[in-house]
Structure 1
Amino acid sequence: MTLEDLRIFVAVCRAGSLSAVARQFGVTQSAVSQHVKRLERETGVSLLERQPRGVVPTRAGQILETAASEGLAGLDLALRNLRELADGETGSVRVATGATTVRHFMADAVVAFRQRYPEASLEFRTEPSSRACFDALTDSELDLAWVTLGPPVRGIEQRAVVDLPWVLAVRADDPLADRPHARVRELADLRLIRLPPNSTSAAQLDAGCAQLGVRFAFDTSVTDWDTALLLAELGLGRAVVPALPRLHINGTDAVPSGDLRLVPLPELPPLTVGWAVRRWSALSPLARAFAETVSVP
């Protein structure tokens, strides 16, 4: 059993096709089949089930694929970290983020990190949701993912950085704009701008409302928080969103710019955001330094 056997087997399980993996690795389909057969001889069990349109792992194959995926990801990360230790402070940090993350949470950290490590490379990969960030972290050489924290994910460690209170975003001339706060039940009869329905933040908002016996109605849907804020500022609807760090909430010394007002909704439990990694103990020194630089007041 070799690392190449395991790499090819994992690739076959994910692709569901021997020929696709052969093209991916630049080998023949027969060579791919031989790697799988070697694993089956050594384990003594059948690992793949042939079907009319490809292959799927057997129960035994699923067990091996899960263990091999985790082991290969850890090994690849360790090898990369060793290379970066040899390079000193000239390595790279790869981060998965949502669409609004860098602007609202990391702007100061990126500047501070660049000043401290001028030779290091920062690479950002934008994903549409926290769930996509988890998937990207699992299936690639990414170091970190900035996510909305949620239920445990196998093979992933999550670390909270900041709690974001929920606010109602409205235009300055809205009847609710000057309120010091609003009750969730008052919003039940309003039609709101909906957060991405499959996102972790939307799920947690729905759960918080359910605990209060409230269900919102929506007439507009967006894919990210910034778009919801923009539509509210334009007077095209009201939105319940997390209070992002670079925005000011009604009642503070600073006033939101433009025509946007943010009214606190203190009844809703805050949304927790922070880092997800495969293993904190395996992070490279540069990745750990960047993660620690991101500090949201």
Structure 2
Amino acid sequence: MATFDTKRLEIFVQTVNTGSITAAADLLGGTTSGASQQLRRLEQETGQPLLRRRSRGVVPTEAGMILAAHARKILSRMDAAQADLDDLTHGRRGSLVIGAFPTVASSFLPVVIERFKSQYPSVTLSIRSTRLDQLVNDLERGQTHLSLLWDHPWRPLTAEGIRIDELFRESFVVLVSRHHRLADVKSVSMGDLAAESWVVRAQNHPVVEVLDRAATAAGFHPSIAMYANDYQEAQAMVSAGIGVALAPMSAVDVPHPGVQLLSLGEAAPVRRIMVGQREERVYSPAEMAFRTTLIESVKGRHQGDSTPPNSQY
């Protein structure tokens, strides 16, 4: 079985296409003598004459026409393979699994995805939205390529083997009904809310600790009126006057029409939003491109910030 050299096949196809060894050599940046030598070697490999010389150029033999038809397909597939590899090298193809948590997945992340997909439409994205501990576990086990993470100043997130970089910080804000006595003010203190009933997230959600810490610092213990399953439910109950609530800005990216957001000023609790990647591995071009898009999206969002004071989101 003959083993074909793709360079020789390329010279042969161009010779058949142009009807001239000289023209083929010119197109490929070579010499006529060099092309003739490669064609003779190709004929030796096939064991058959491939070209018939005429007074004005050459024409393929029957064997030459068969080989040319197959060679065109081979060269076309090789070009496609090289293009795919080039795309992969530049991050335009491949697949990524991104870890996220609900509040950022419903606010900031879609902006990033839209920007990334417009630049790299052939990269397949999968999103896993779950709890913080599972996000870290997925990174450690290699089930996600990179993940959005969060922490609070009093408990910085550390995970062995995970590279963690801060993207931005966001403040917590107070949610009150538009009919609340404080609805017309822009900023309040936690002390102003000591007598309020609170709507908080259920199942030991992290915001419960944030509220407890903020309330304790203000000298009171919060009275809980309801444990909500998600921030949409919490906003709805706040709008109905069941109580007030505390939430990170990304959780109220689309506020309920019956709810007013109040800043806690410089005393507002904050949390860091970060990106995590597993260390000691080579990051794919697509992964690095997504990371770059994350950072660019953060800068763009910050420049267009219209959130209450002290929010760095």
CA deviation after TM superposition for structure 1 residue 199, in Å: 4.1
Q: How far does residue 203 in structure 1 lie from its aligned partner after superposition?
A: 3.3
User: Do the aligned residues in 1 keep the contact of 2:101 with 2:129 (CA within 8 Å)?
Assistant: yes
The residue that corresponds to 1:24 in the other structure is none
Q: Which residue does the alignment assign to 2:290?
A: 290
Deviations 1:71-100 (A, max 9, x none): xxxxxxxxxxx9x95695221111111123
Which runs of no fewer than 5 residues in structure 1 stay unpaired?
1-81, 249-255
- Alignment match, 2:244: 238
Amino acid paired to 1:95: I
How many Å separate the matches in 2 of 1:214 and 1:158?
A: 35
Matched, 1:271 2:271: yes
Per-residue CA shift, 1:202-224, capped at 9, x if unaligned?
A: 43443344444443221222344
Partner in structure 1 of residue 116 of structure 2 = 113
The letter for the 2-side match of 1:163 is R
**Which residue does 2:163 correspond to in 1?**
157
Residue-pair matches, total: 207
- Distance in 2, matches of 1:290 and 1:160, equals 15
2:237 is paired with a residue whose SS is: helix
Mean alpha-carbon deviation: is it higher for 168-177 or for 218-227? 218-227
Is contact 1:94-1:141 (8 Å) kept? yes
Between 91-100 and 196-205, the greater mean CA deviation after superposition: 196-205
Deviations 1:136-191 (A, max 9, x none): 22234201221212332222222211211121111211111111211112222222
2:226 and 2:165 map into 1 onto residues whose CA distance is 32
Which residue among 141, 145, 160 is the counterpart of 1:143?
Answer: 145
Secondary structure of 1:178 counterpart: coil
Partner in structure 2 of residue 221 of structure 1: 227
Q: What fraction of aligned residue pairs are identical, expressed as a percent?
A: 21
Q: State whether residues 130 and 146 of structure 1, in contact with CA within 8 Å, keep that contact through their aligned partners in structure 2.
A: no
Would you say 1:95 and 2:94 are equivalent positions? no
Counterpart-to-counterpart distance in 1, 2:211 and 2:238:
18
The Cα shift of 1:200 comes to: 4.2
Q: 1:229 to 1:116 in 2, by over 3 A?
A: same
Displacement after TM superposition at 1:111 (Å): 1.1
Counterpart of 1:130 in structure 2 is 132
CA distance in 2, matches of 1:216, 1:105: 30
> TM-score, normalized by length of structure 1?
0.61
Tell me how far 1:229 sits from its aligned partner.
2.6
What displacement does 1:289 show? 1.7
Q: Unpaired segments of 5 or more residues in structure 2?
A: 1-84, 303-313
The SS at the match of 1:189 is coil
Which secondary structure state, in structure 1, belongs to the residue aligned with residue 140 of structure 2?
helix
Please tell me the residue identity of whatever aligns with 2:134. A
Residue by residue over 1:115-152, the C-alpha shift from the partner in whole angstroms, topping out at 9 and shown as x without a partner, is 1001001100121x222222222234201221212332
Structure 2 residue corresponding to 1:195, chosen from 193, 201, 210: 201
TM-score, normalising length from structure 2? 0.58
Cα distance in 2 for residues equivalent to 1:218 and 1:111: 39
> Does the CA-based 8 Å contact 1:158-1:276 persist in structure 2?
yes
